[in-house]
A and B are shown apart, each in its own frame.
Chain A
Amino acid sequence: MPGLTWGSPMASEVNADFDAIVVGSGISGGWAAKELCERGLKVLLVERGRKVTHREDYVTEGKGNWELPYRGQIPEQEVERDYAVQKDCYAFTDFTKHFFVNDREHPYATPDDKPFAWIRGYQLGGRSILWHRQCYRWSDLDFEANANDGHGVDWPIRYKDIAPWYDHVETFAGISGSFEGLPQLPDGKFQPPFPMNCVEQEINKRLESSYSDRKLIIGRAAHLTAPTDEQLALGRGRCMNRNECQRGCSFGAYFSSLSATLPAAERTGNLTTVTDAIVTGVNFDAASNRATGVNVIDANSKDGRSYSGRMVFLCASTLGSTQILLNSTSEQFPNGLANSSGTLGQCLMDHLDRPAAAGIFPGFLDKYASSRRASGCYVPRFRNVNEKDERFLRGFGYQGAASRQSWKQGTATPGVGAEMKTALRRPGPWTLSLTGFGEMLPDTRNRVWLDEKRKDQWGIPILQIDCQHRENELAMLEAIEADAVEMMEAVGMTNIKSGFKAFAPGLGIHEMGTARMGRDPQSSVLNEHNQAHDVPNLFVTDGACMTSSACQNPSLTYMALTARAAAGAVEMLREGSI
């Protein structure tokens, strides 16, 4: 059985249950478990939710709408009673609801006039089962943004520090995408891209002739289009383009903890997994200035127990990890573990998620494409890239796809009888919709803290979330809409509709920040290794660590940061510095 190969004592010899404890099994936790196990550490993975078994528990996979009692709709009273927040997630249906939390059982609080949608999946695999799989590298435009405009603190890393780790995680996870040579959206280790359909190709051609800085490219997505031997050995296979990924995928074609990182961790023989175990806090020993392990409470029996470990990786999601730190108080850290800076909980960010515009692309009525594709397209950021925009700082990208309308157009247009039925039997015109994803500034006023009175059923103080879109975001939202409309007009689209409502923060499901990385221990929680400034054997590698939000989907960056931090932590263990 593999062990630490450099003479470092094993956990049992230093009177700890495990070499490392990883809290959370989503995208970040899965990566932490894999990387630590593969480097020989005995790892305990603690998951607060139920066990989900790959394939076996994908109970709605492959079903047609007609095979569900309400064709995918969830009874309205159940939705209002149990899913008052989760219901606003685009992927929440009767096919997927078992992978979402019951809001009644997992309360949090917000000011009445500032809703924040906290979309969660508490189970083995976390939200890696539910994610939208878009994977974009960040660039130095993003890592230098705070330093350049003074919002937030400077990132302690630059692109060159993370680039080899992007290579590493992309190669293992399997990211399909096209090579574009864009400095603001670096290319990666791609599997072949999904094709763009003929209308998307035509739209890109027209965009490129109208603008020097805008194009429509295929989305970069964590789907196997040409599986490697390593991926095949893990039981993963090629994507079938069902685009029903959030139900689970027995092909293992999209990356999730269940399809990829956890099987890789398990095959080392070094992984122990416990589920239904809610971490209430990290234990801290002031004499050695070290985290010593975690306290957990059984989600079902509500019995408490502890695990000891030589290091702790918090990967419990942005707000989950911060909640655990805030709830880990001691004489030395009365305001939360590793919070000597007082910044823990501050600078919560999400992406500005706004359906920007939609319209009809005339022509091409003798062309059609497959019914579904597992990724849409992407318009990479063009604002504040080459020229400074006077209206707002930072930038945004768009996601969207072109397809031909189907039966749903019948509900939006007049018509009944055989005439309507005959018309709806044929594909309608081509349409394109674009959804903007904009960067939110790190702002100390957007923050979370523990409620002093209200506790959940496990006795954990609930989280108070106070977060809103502010001046820069509101200015950017206007541009997101206006630019989309202008581009649609430029490529010759008609019937362009806009004026859709922006979503409340949270619904981007890209919550980031609250335990940020930084150079200065007085203004940040984590250093350049995702290591707590205050507690050397404590690491936070999920979205909580993010110092700014960029406008690219963040999961790929969590993967790279986590793998990088795990490698660094093992090296520190080997050197004896933690």
Chain B
Amino acid sequence: MRDDRNLLTRRKAIQGAASLLGGAIAATQLSTFMSRAASAAAAGEPPAFFDADQFALIERIVDVMIPETATPGAHAIGVHHFVDLMLAEWASPERQARYVRGLEQLDTELKRPDGESFVDLAPEEQLDVLRAVDAAAYADNAGDTFFVELKKMVLFSFYSSEIGATEELQYEALPGPYKHCMSVDEDVRAWFDLGFTYGL
């Protein structure tokens, strides 16, 4: 419930500041927010777009790509469910088809030489295999790969979540006067800042 309190505090800050000026913030901003992906994950809901095998692969990939460390990982906050939701509701038919094809091919690329499936490997092995595919995708002659498209989606899904933006990174709802030159030490967290647009 800590998250809800943060949200409430932040909204109160904005509303209080705006009301000093004699105005009220839009009522819609005060509605309670509940992430659909988080609740789907909590309830163990079936995927809306992927089939069971595809979803199992996505689930393993997000967990290996952004694991739990001292902070929550992608799996714990339901990134696999959010990716599924994006594919079901946001993506064009062309992108949906690209994901189906891409996942099929990725499943092959991620197999161990002896044919063992990625989802059945031990976690350390999964990391090694994923690292190899990742390195190949960023090689000079790799061109546009589905893997990079998927990685963009996973990173977006993780860091634009509430936990990603406000706990893994830092988020200022009301920055206030610009602090132009702060001295920071090595463990400072980066700002979450999406900018205007993000190409998925």
CA distance A146 to B61 in the complex (A): 61
Which chain B residue shows the least CB distance to A53? B26
- Asked if B1 is at the interface of the complex by the 8 Å CB criterion, the answer is no
* Interface-lining segment among B41-49, B111-119, B156-164: B156-164
For B158-200 the 0/1 string (1 means CB < 8 A from A) is 0111101110111111111111111111111111111111101
Choose, from A102-110, A233-241, A434-442, the stretch at the interface: A233-241
Cβ-based interface call for A5 (8 A): no
Contact with B along A248-271 (1 / 0, CB 8 A): 001110000000000000000000
Would B134 and A415 count as touching, CB distance under 8 A?
yes
- Residues of B contacting A371 with CB < 8 Å? 170-172, 175, 191-193
Q: Tell me whether A198 is interfacial, beta carbon within 8 Å.
A: yes
Tell me how many residues of B have a C-beta within 8 Å of chain A.
84
User: By the criterion CB–CB under 8 Å, are A237 and B21 in contact?
Assistant: yes
Measured between beta carbons, the chain A residues less than 8 angstroms from B20 are 237
Contact of B173 (CB < 8 Å), options: A62, A415, A425: A62
Task: State whether A372 touches B172 (Cβ < 8 A).
Answer: yes
Which A residues are CB-close (under 8 A) to B86? Answer: 70, 73
Determine whether the beta carbon of A66 is less than 8 Å from that of B174: no
Q: Mark A389-421, 1 if CB is under 8 A from B, else 0.
A: 000000000000001111110110111111011
Residues of A within 8 A of B188 (CB): 368, 426-427
Determine, out of A22-30, A75-83, A280-288, A346-354, the stretch whose residues face the partner at the interface.
A75-83
Q: Across the interface, which residues of B come within 8 angstroms of A410, CB to CB?
A: 151, 155
**Which residues in A have their C-beta under 8 angstroms from that of B186?**
426
A522 touches B (CB below 8 Å): no
Query: Which of A65, A69, A237, A428 is the most central at the interface, judged by chain B CB atoms within 10 Å of its CB?
Result: A65
A101 and B36 alpha carbons, distance in the complex (Å): 29
A55 interface hit (Cβ, 8 Å): yes
Contact of A80 among B64, B92, B177, B195 (CB under 8 A): B92
List the A side residues contacting B159 at CB < 8 Å. Answer: 407, 424
Asked if B25 contacts A61 (CB within 8 A), the reply is: yes
**A86-94, A314-322, A536-544: which one contacts chain B?**
A86-94
Q: Is the CB of A198 within 8 A of B168?
A: no
A521 interface residue, CB < 8 Å from B?
no
Instruction: Report the separation of the CA atoms of residues A388 and B51 in the bound assembly, to the nearest whole angstrom.
Output: 66
Instruction: Assess whether A241 is in contact with B21, with CB atoms less than 8 Å apart.
Output: no
Complex interface residues of chain A between 316 and 357 (CB less than 8 A to chain B): none
Q: How far is the CA of A93 from the CA of B197 in the complex (A)?
A: 7
- Residues of B within 8 Å of A241, CB to CB, are 175-178
Q: Assuming the A-B contacts A241-B177, A425-B168, are A62 and B14 also in contact, with contact meaning beta carbons closer than 8 angstroms in the complex?
A: yes
Quick one: closest B residue to A55, CB to CB? B23
Report the interface size for chain A: residues with CB under 8 A from the other chain. 71
Given contacts A195-B180, A240-B176, A251-B21, contact A66 B190 (CB under 8 A): no
Q: In the complex, are the beta carbons of B190 and A407 less than 8 A apart?
A: yes
Contact A425 B190 (CB under 8 A): yes
User: Are A66 and B89 in touch, CB under 8 angstroms?
Assistant: no
Chain A residues with Cβ under 8 A from B155's Cβ? Answer: 407-408, 410-411, 424
Write out the residue numbers on chain B whose beta carbons fall within 8 Å of the beta carbon of A167. none
Specify the chain A residue showing the minimal Cβ separation from B132: A416
List the B side residues contacting A195 at CB < 8 Å.
Answer: 178, 180
Cβ-neighbour of B135 out of A92, A407, A414, A418 (below 8 A)? A414
B95: which of A58, A76, A91, A407 is its contact (CB, 8 Å)?
A76
Interface string of B106-132 (1 = CB under 8 A from A): 000000000000000000000100110
Query: Smallest CB–CB gap between B136 and chain A, Å?
Result: 9
Q: Is A14 an interface residue (CB 8 A)?
A: no
The answer to whether residues A416 and B25 also contact, given A242-B175, A427-B191 and a CB cut-off of 8 A, is no
Q: Nearest-CB distance from B88 to chain A (Å)?
A: 10
| Contact partners of A76 in chain B: CB under 8 A | 90-92, 95
Contact among B10, B25, B179 for A55, CB-based, below 8 A: B25
A71 at the interface (CB under 8 A from B): yes
User: Would you call A56 an interface residue if the criterion is a C-beta within 8 Å of the partner chain's C-beta atoms?
Assistant: yes
- Complex contact B130–A250 (CB within 8 A): no
B11 interface residue (CB < 8 Å to A): yes
Shortest C-beta distance, A430 to chain B (Å), equals 12
* CA of A421 to CA of B138, assembled, Å: 17
The answer to the question of B40 belonging to the interface, with a C-beta cut-off of 8 Å to chain A, is no
Flag whether A194 is at the interface (Cβ < 8 A): yes
Chain B contacts for A198, CB-based, 8 A: 180-181
Q: Is A490 an interface residue (CB 8 A)?
A: no
Contact B156 A71 (CB under 8 A): yes
Whether the Cβ atoms of A197 and B160 lie closer than 8 Å is no
Q: Are B135 and A422 in contact (CB-based, < 8 A)?
A: no
Which A137-179 residues have a C-beta within 8 angstroms of B? none
A75 and B89 form a contact (CB under 8 A): yes
Contact of B179 among A65, A370, A407, A420 (CB under 8 A): A370
B189 touches A425 (CB 8 A): yes
**A242 to B25 CA separation, bound complex (whole angstroms):** 15
Contact of B190 among A54, A64, A367, A426 (CB under 8 A): A426
Q: For residue B91, which residue of chain A has the nearest CB? A: A76
Give the CA-CA distance A201 to B173 in the complex, in Å. 26
**Is B100 an interface residue when CB atoms closer than 8 A count as contact?**
no
Q: Bound state CA distance, A337 and B29, in angstroms?
A: 47
Closest CB in chain A relative to B16 CB, distance in Å: 11
Residues of A within 8 A of B14 (CB): 62, 250
In the assembly, what is the distance between CA of A77 and CA of B93, in Å? 8
Complex: how many Å from CA A427 to CA B182?
13
The chain A residue with its CB closest to the CB of B185 is A366
Q: Is the CB of B69 within 8 A of A422?
A: yes
Residues of B within 8 A of A62 (CB): 10-11, 14, 25, 29, 173
Which listed residue (A72, A415, A420) contacts B160, Cβ 8 A?
A72
B148 within 8 A of A: yes
Residues of A within 8 A of B148 (CB): 411
Q: Is A525 an interface residue when CB atoms closer than 8 A count as contact?
A: no
A373 touches B (CB below 8 Å): yes
Q: Can you report 5 A-B residue pairs in the complex whose CB atoms are below 8 A from each other?
A: A59-B29, A242-B174, A407-B159, A425-B71, A427-B188
15 additional contacts, CB 8 Å, given A242-B174, A372-B191? A59-B26, A66-B33, A93-B197, A201-B180, A235-B22, A240-B175, A250-B18, A252-B21, A370-B178, A371-B175, A410-B155, A411-B155, A416-B64, A416-B65, A424-B155
